[in-house]
Amino acid sequence: MHDSIQLQYSADGLATAHNSEFLADRRFQDAYRFGMQVGALRRIELHIEWRAWIAIWAAEQALLVPGDFVECGVHTGILSGTVMHWTNFRAIAGRTFWLLDTFNGLPEDQLSESERKIGLQGYNTGYRAGDALADINAKFRGFPNVRIVPGAVPETLAKVEAERVAYLSIDMNMALPEIAAAEHFWPKLSPGGIILLDDYNWVPHINQKRAFDAFAAARGLRVLGLPTGQGIIVKPP
């Protein structure tokens, strides 16, 4: 036991005395700064560094197997931007990063009654919703292998022209579209491919946790829940 150790990180619902030296890594700082960029000019001040670090790990594992990258629920592109900058994704031949979002908040007709009772309607509608798509286009203009797909999941899933998927990030704040995305891409997910769930271990998103627990159990798997609030599923060989 080390009762005298001081906290090394305290933000985003996570306080820990464990090693957090990645925070001082210049490469990480540069990637995170790009992730926090809005459009081509402004930046968000939000401290989700450990979540971003988990996304980087997942992306690096995904690069070991064949397939495209997909993010369902982009918002301002924090995680996707951090990952793309860290991996220098624009220079990776033969892979596409697909970004799916309404870019206009949650489609409230997809909320279950229990999610409405929790109060998710109107949740995360985003900054300047009318300009969100323009900002995402500006942010990723320098990435020739990025494809932006506006609209609601599951209707837009068929627009992702990927034969194989290596990395699937899901953050749509409600169970229906998230499970639809997981079901759609699972057959395309390469063995060793990663599903990164942003909301899995957050208390207000218990419906998503239970839905993904059932999704994983049906495949003989278990979701790894993380103290960052995230969850990870790795497709076995």
The CATH code belonging to domain 9-234 is 3.40.50.150
Question: How high is the pLDDT of residue 127?
Answer: 47
Question: How high is the pLDDT of residue 5?
Answer: 80
pLDDT digits (tens, 9 = 90+) for 15-58: 999 999 999 999 999 999 999 999 877 888 899 999 999 999 99
Helix (H) / strand (E) containing 224: strand 224-225
pLDDT digits (tens, 9 = 90+) for 86-121: 999 999 999 999 999 999 888 877 877 777 767 665
Task: Give dist(CA 8, CA 23) in Å, integer.
Answer: 10
pLDDT digits (tens, 9 = 90+) for 121-177: 556 554 454 589 999 999 999 999 999 999 999 999 999 999 999 999 999 999 999
**pTM of this structure:** 0.93
Task: Give dist(CA 201, CA 178) in Å, integer.
Answer: 14
Question: How high is the pLDDT of residue 48?
Answer: 98
pLDDT digits (tens, 9 = 90+) for 196-227: 999 999 999 999 999 999 999 999 999 999 99
Task: Give dist(CA 55, CA 170) in Å, integer.
Answer: 11
- Write a three-state SS string for 155-198: CCHHHCCCCCEEEEEECCCCHHHHHHHHHHHHHHEEEEEEEEEC
| Residue 170 and residue 178 in contact, taking contact as beta carbons nearer than 8 Å | yes
Domain ranges, ordered by start, for the chain = 9-234
Q: Which two tokens stand for residue 228?
A: 């960052």
Question: How high is the pLDDT of residue 187?
Answer: 98
